[in-house]
Chains A and B, each alone.
Chain A
Amino acid sequence: MSLISLSAFDLAIAASLVLLVALLQWRMRLGNTQALLIAGLRTVVQLLLLGLVLKIVFAASDLYWITLMSIVMLLAAGREVMVRQKRQFIGSWGFLLGTSSMFVSAFSVTLLALLVIVQPDPWYLPQYSIPLLGMLLGNTLNGITLGLDNLTRSVWEKRIIIDGRLALGETWGSAISGIRRDSIRVGMIPIINAMSVAGLVSLPGMMTGQILSGTPPVEAVKYQILIMFLIAAGTGLGTITAIVIGCRRLFDDRERLRLDRLR
């Protein structure tokens, strides 16, 4: 079975569906029209560029190119985490918190998968390393964004409670414990949902892609299980790192709640 090639017209039909939703939002004054259209446009431009870049990187299969591309992906993900927050940490923290958490989690899990589990030859073979890193970054980005947004929003809304607990002599860790637990839980919700319904309700994207391009289903399933576990580990590590550091940053050395460190 060979892959059925898509024409520009095929994509245009799909695009018109998105336009229909945008039109509905606009007519019903639901807002968000612009965000949808921009995101759709970004998908087209970014993926087309990626197709071109991947063509070059695959042909070169050079560690420096792959490293460079990984760094660009990481920085883009870090920026995305930052701008998705309603209340960001001010200064370089806003960018570095998400970026370093993703570096710690997504990069280490990808390296482990390449060096120990999949073991392509060479280990950085771009056909494996780039999609793996991409899927891990994309999913940890989701978890970290949701978790951090929940953290900063809750702390803002519950500042009187946190402050009151501090005034009663509680440690900063105890004063924020509930919010910290909730934020990590919120960050993990998407991957837990995805693992719970995988195969029952949804056919995960990567497996679908492999099956469409002719891989035997059982092989595709094995890869999908691997990916799911890697994503769960990456999201968990990344979310926990970001939330733990973020919580600490909200208090100073005298355990005072410092909302002035949020925008």
Chain B
Amino acid sequence: MADLVISNLRSQVPGLVVQRLAALNLCLHGAEITGLNGPSGSGKSLLLRAIADLDPSMGEVSLADCSRTSMPAHEWRKRVAYLPTESGWWFETVGEHFLQTDIASLQKLGFEADVLSWKITRISSGEKQRLALVRSLSREPEALLLDEPTAALDESHTLNVEQLVSDYMKQRNAPVFWVSHDPGQLNRLTRFIINIQPDGSIREQVR
């Protein structure tokens, strides 16, 4: 049982009024991508952040029958990795950000091993996005929350990223929650999509 079970989840960011968004009840199955879409500002990122416990929230979330409240928050986030659209880089070179280097994954996304010595100031936003994904995966999370992971990428890189995530998820039996604005991408990847409506209600769509 590697299911990520979400019950009655509602983001409660202080001072933010996106609270029209209905509470989320959902079970994400292992080795399966669930899509999430909705208009900008409808609270997709807030939902993922609430699942990762990065923002205060109401409700329960558990992974493989382990409640997030049963462990320290950093332990939970190590297991349930949230990948933000805009990644943070704080050391001077790419390689310093990796606890363990995963050359195979880097190559699948079109990098050579020398990327690890690249200076952060010189990498593009598309490169950052791909590197951030490899960085997250290299910490071996058990579930993935991906916030528009291909927003800054061209088509061939997008397909590479989709392939890498699919491989990882099958290998680890990991549930994946994937935010995308691209209907084509969600059609390719998922059989189950969560739609946030403009009025804040949540509709489930099985294809």
Contact = CB atoms under 8 A, between A and B. Distances in A.
A91 interface: no
Contacts of B157: none
A205 interface: no
A165 B53 contact: no
B86 A160 contact: yes
A247 to B, nearest CB: 15
B52 interface: yes
A256 B56 contact: yes
A167 B15 contact: no
A89 to B, nearest CB: 14
Interface string B31-75: 000000000000000000000111110000000000000001111
Interface stretch (A63-71, A98-106, A169-177): A169-177
B185 interface: no
Interface residues of A, number: 22
A163 interface: yes
Contact of A168 (B55, B86, B135): B135
B181 interface: no
A217 to B, nearest CB: 49
Contacts of B56: 252, 254, 256
Nearest to A172: B74
B84 interface: yes
Nearest to A254: B73
Interface stretch (B87-95, B107-115, B199-207): B87-95
Interface of A: 158, 160-172, 178, 252, 254-258, 260
Interface of B: 13-15, 52-56, 72-75, 77-79, 81-84, 86-90, 135-136, 139, 141
